[in-house]
Amino acid sequence: MIARRYAADRFGSSGCMDGGRAIAAMTLGLLLAACSSNSEPTMQNVLPPAPRASDRIKHVIVVIQENRSLENLFAGYPGANAPMSGCAIAEGGGRLSPSSGCPRGDVSVPLQRTTFERNPGLLPHDWSSSLIDWHRGRMDGFYKSAPHSGLYAAYTYIDRMQVRPYWTMAKQYVLADE
């Protein structure tokens, strides 16, 4: 009896929902159905997407010269991080330069020009030499492990006439110096 009275109060005496409520319920149902559609938008982009920089790069060429550093081939290259000097543990032969950016106690050693033929010798590639070169992260022990044809044999750069093709490529394309 209570359920019938509730239904009658809610839906009217016939037990059916009145017209206004029925329209509102149907509208709400259609609105919810329209919002849950998975269809793609029908409007297309007017402009094509802008090309990315990687779309224009067709080739990447990496040039590696064994037993050479960037400074050895490109010391003094304009705009590059390839200085004309290096830091070394002070043991004579170096020029004291406290404002050079070297760690405290080191000296700034100007790079000496050399050629491929007159190269002061290859640096050793063994583990103990690399630890000396590294010097607990200071990277200033290279002269200690180098063959001593000159006190700072590791602090050299190759004559620019011999590395001209490298400089030409760097000017025409890109030099990755970091």
List pLDDT tens digits, range 113-154: 988 887 655 677 788 888 887 888 777 777 666 655 555 667
What is the structure's pLDDT at 76?
Answer: 94
What is the structure's pLDDT at 171?
Answer: 93
DSSP 95: B
What is the structure's pLDDT at 166?
Answer: 94
Rounded Cα distance, 62 and 73, in Å = 14
Q: pTM for this one?
A: 0.57
Q: 90, 109 in Cβ contact below 8 A? A: no
What is the structure's pLDDT at 122?
Answer: 67
Residue 63 backbone dihedrals phi, psi, to 5 degrees: -105, 125
What is the structure's pLDDT at 168?
Answer: 95
Pick from 157, 177, 173, 82: nearest CA to 116: 157
What is the structure's pLDDT at 80?
Answer: 92
What is the structure's pLDDT at 167?
Answer: 96
Burial class (CB in 10 A: 0-12, 13-18, 19+), 143: buried
Distance of CA 105 to the CA centre of its chain: 32
User: In this structure, which amino acid lies at residue 150?
Assistant: G
Structure tokens at 160: 């620019």
Q: 112, 159 in Cβ contact below 8 A? A: no
Intervals of the chain under pLDDT 70: 1-18, 36-45, 91-100, 119-122, 143-153
Domain ranges of the chain: 2-32, 70-172
Residue 23 three-state SS: helix
CA torsion sign, 26 to 32 to 34 to 38? negative
Residue 87 three-state SS: strand
